[in-house]
Structure 1
């Protein structure tokens, strides 16, 4: 049960090689105050928050694979705030509440940095910042509206970087300009997940892996049936992110796409010679973002989003194993980083990335079932914001009226996508238009009118679309 070992990401294989775990599937009946579906970052931060608020609470996590087996063990390991998504926060929440949530995400980064400093949590964290950059004239200044909006509120999250600045830092002249978020970090994502797993067990949370929920009987209590047992709980938390799309009630509000990761063999001497032994990460401003980072042992991870999407929420098994775009992604890496072109590829894998209509995650309670809550849709930036998500979900699960349960992100989904098969077909059309548009921009050509029109329908990912200045709403 679970993802076969040979289909796992390098991150998870490495983490499991360094730490022996003994999964315990659910057998028989278990009772809990709160049951959490999903043993990724969001589920485990929620469990820790619940135990911090009410230590006597009985909390159970059910995970269909092992903790960290999903997106939490496959992502690029960029620990970012919501600074690049501030325009979306401001549109949804208004300036002041948007600023509060931005600061909450910045505090989440600090909390995760502190967590990684605990004894035994060796997540390879390096805090050298993240560069939001442009690789074409069309992307140039994609950050300007965000920086301007933050400046109006007296918030400074970014510092400008010229092409020469970026080249000196990243040994590449493919990036024309950008801005630097100094407090961002990189880490080994699967090692963070296993560190969280250890922390929730130490907090008294019961964790049952290899225990997928095969049937849920809503009510008070709610009954969650796994293959060999049942959890009877006062409340239920869906913390599934991409896998939430497998449930009909969430499917219309999420699009799940693939992100491809390519990791090189270690080359610490070459990186030292080039001045790349730091932890600075970089992303361009495409809708299908391309990102790069190094690792403490001298590897380079290069990732690209948007290779394919799911039909009817079929996520399980569709994002396991190697990249389907090995040659094209590696060719892009060599073109962007010619000084690294000789590095050999050691591993490649895919992972699921969610997109929502707002580019932000959403949280809420099921209609007519207030004891069942949910949160998902991090849209390309979940390592840091999942900590905020844990606070929101814990408050919702406990029925607390506080700044987390009443924030605009906790109002449920705001906007959705067409039903199948129109969504799947539409996603393919839009994704192809985005790819053609960005190829034209890379070549310095004006994109076709039709491609530009279809590309404008794509939901935002890691960074906002250039020129899409939203008008602030009032909250």
Structure 2
């Protein structure tokens, strides 16, 4: 009997549009006019991603009389906020392990505040009637190598001890949820993760801000920031904004505050989206509970299913560029798309012949502690939050609350946190930054091939508190 040769996985990319799936949506709203001429306001928010949109929205909810202006260099939600996988996690610390390593004495407070933030986010979506496909499905951390199986019980025990609702699944158990021959076990966190349509979340926040009277000007980059007595002025191409307070939410993009810039590096992440699965193909995979999932490697994949039964397949490569330049040409990387396609069909061989309809990338703002940090400048009139490192869909709302607390001088449970009071170490200047990141990437790949064992370089970074756990 003749055997048909397997299809080349690269053929699945033949018709993939080089644009983010979430932004390729007929419900995409029109842009607001650019700012032309000078203006004044009580609060200026720079950046129209999740961080900036939540900051503007919460500021108006706290004080409806506040005059709030938001400026965005391109389109609101057009960068990381509209390009990510749509995993909305309760964690404020890029996962429990990272938080335990850095703030063991306040981790329970951080976990509680993260869960409260997720609930408050859910309430805000209902209050403002934001339809973003919110599904509180939880997520799976999957073992795909034998040495990773032993980590699962320990991970589940730690998570349960700090308030999570978790279940450990053996190979049969995880394959009953999502069927892949590569799955050897999993931990299912059932309570702390929701799936969302990320672009519709950003667009819904934009609409809610406009409804409350926030003045939003897109295609209005902030070029420079100066202090003038009791106010701060920010220049834009067509006008100057004078504000009593300024919240900077630029994240991966260069901040108008130069002292802010060494604390983040843009890291490019990439994703593919399949065509919708037929009923037969969907049945071959299972996925009845619609969880998101990620594998346990340092170079990991993150995966979820959409409302119309497409599969998003992202991660693995994390790419930096010399001097950390953010540029549109970096959003596309065919060699990474090819790697992702090959890995997809290794994980789901039963889906051979499925096509990818979209392939895209975007910049993540990474910090040396792998999660958000905060600071103020100009005698407390300017605040910023950045460094979310890919887990910002939920944490950006918390970051907005913190920035507003700092700008008003409020003493709150949030501002008392060491997470808020201390900044991470900055990245070194070039060329040392690129050299260090390159060595780290190679060491992490080596650890994945060596049963997770970390070499001297990674152990040294661990001792210095420089993250790089994934």
TM-score normalised per structure 1: 0.87
* TM superposition shift of 1:298: 1.3
Q: How does 1:162-201 map to 2 (within 5 A)?
A: 162-183=170-191, 184-201=193-210
User: Does residue 1:392 correspond to 2:402, yes or no?
Assistant: yes
Alpha carbons 1:362, 1:413 under 8 Å: kept: yes
Flag the 1:107–1:341 CA change in 2: closer, same or farther, 3 A: farther
Question: What is the rounded CA distance, in whole Å, between the counterparts of 1:387 and 1:286 in structure 2?
Answer: 28
Flag the 1:165–1:118 CA change in 2: closer, same or farther, 3 A: farther
Q: 1:408 aligns with which of 418, 421, 434?
A: 418
What SS does the corresponding residue of 2:358 show, helix, strand or coil?
strand
Question: What is the rounded CA distance, in whole Å, between the counterparts of 1:363 and 1:46 in structure 2?
Answer: 14
Residue in structure 2 matched with residue 21 of structure 1 by the alignment: 30
Alpha carbons 2:277, 2:309 under 8 Å: kept: yes
User: Does residue 1:313 correspond to 2:324, yes or no?
Assistant: yes
What SS does the corresponding residue of 1:252 show, helix, strand or coil?
helix
User: Alpha-carbon deviations, 1:123-167, whole Å to 9, x = none?
Assistant: 1222221011222234334455554445555x2342212121111
User: Does residue 1:299 correspond to 2:307, yes or no?
Assistant: no
Q: 2:445 aligns with which of 435, 442, 445?
A: 435
Flag the 1:419–1:246 CA change in 2: closer, same or farther, 3 A: farther
Question: What is the rounded CA distance, in whole Å, between the counterparts of 1:377 and 1:46 in structure 2?
Answer: 16
Flag the 1:373–1:285 CA change in 2: closer, same or farther, 3 A: same
Alpha carbons 1:434, 1:454 under 8 Å: kept: no
Residue in structure 2 matched with residue 418 of structure 1 by the alignment: 428
Q: 2:48 aligns with which of 27, 33, 39?
A: 39
* TM superposition shift of 1:451: 7.7
* TM superposition shift of 1:406: 2.5
Q: 2:149 aligns with which of 137, 140, 143?
A: 140
Residue in structure 2 matched with residue 70 of structure 1 by the alignment: 79
Question: What is the rounded CA distance, in whole Å, between the counterparts of 1:109 and 1:458 in structure 2?
Answer: 27
Flag the 1:216–1:449 CA change in 2: closer, same or farther, 3 A: closer
Question: What is the rounded CA distance, in whole Å, between the counterparts of 1:448 and 1:90 in structure 2?
Answer: 19
User: Does residue 1:284 correspond to 2:295, yes or no?
Assistant: yes
Give ranges in structure 1 of 5+ residues lacking alignment.
Answer: 1-5, 466-475
User: Alpha-carbon deviations, 1:269-307, whole Å to 9, x = none?
Assistant: 221453235421100122222111110111100001443
Give ranges in structure 2 of 5+ residues lacking alignment.
Answer: 1-16
Flag the 1:434–1:393 CA change in 2: closer, same or farther, 3 A: same
* TM superposition shift of 1:455: 8.6
Alpha carbons 2:249, 2:385 under 8 Å: kept: yes
Flag the 1:387–1:146 CA change in 2: closer, same or farther, 3 A: farther
Residue in structure 1 matched with residue 169 of structure 2 by the alignment: 161
* TM superposition shift of 1:91: 4.2
Q: 2:217 aligns with which of 188, 198, 208?
A: 208
Flag the 1:233–1:346 CA change in 2: closer, same or farther, 3 A: same
Q: How does 1:241-280 map to 2 (within 5 A)?
A: 241-244=251-254, 248-269=258-279, 270-272=281-283, 274-276=285-287, 278-280=289-291
Alpha carbons 2:268, 2:320 under 8 Å: kept: yes
Flag the 1:143–1:374 CA change in 2: closer, same or farther, 3 A: farther
Alpha carbons 1:242, 1:353 under 8 Å: kept: yes
User: Alpha-carbon deviations, 1:75-98, whole Å to 9, x = none?
Assistant: 000011118722433444443x32
* TM superposition shift of 1:260: 0.9
Alpha carbons 2:443, 2:454 under 8 Å: kept: no
What SS does the corresponding residue of 2:324 show, helix, strand or coil?
coil
* TM superposition shift of 1:25: 0.6
What SS does the corresponding residue of 1:309 show, helix, strand or coil?
coil
* TM superposition shift of 1:50: 1.1
What SS does the corresponding residue of 1:386 show, helix, strand or coil?
helix
Residue in structure 2 matched with residue 332 of structure 1 by the alignment: 343
What SS does the corresponding residue of 1:11 show, helix, strand or coil?
coil
Alpha carbons 1:392, 1:404 under 8 Å: kept: yes
What SS does the corresponding residue of 1:379 show, helix, strand or coil?
coil
Alpha carbons 1:74, 1:189 under 8 Å: kept: yes
What SS does the corresponding residue of 2:328 show, helix, strand or coil?
coil
Flag the 1:47–1:459 CA change in 2: closer, same or farther, 3 A: same
* TM superposition shift of 1:250: 2.5
Alpha carbons 2:19, 2:359 under 8 Å: kept: no
Q: 1:360 aligns with which of 343, 349, 371?
A: 371
User: Alpha-carbon deviations, 1:362-391, whole Å to 9, x = none?
Assistant: 11212x531111001112211111111111
Alpha carbons 1:284, 1:290 under 8 Å: kept: yes
Question: What is the rounded CA distance, in whole Å, between the counterparts of 2:348 and 2:237 in structure 1?
Answer: 48
Flag the 1:46–1:131 CA change in 2: closer, same or farther, 3 A: same
User: Does residue 1:235 correspond to 2:235, yes or no?
Assistant: no
Flag the 1:253–1:119 CA change in 2: closer, same or farther, 3 A: closer
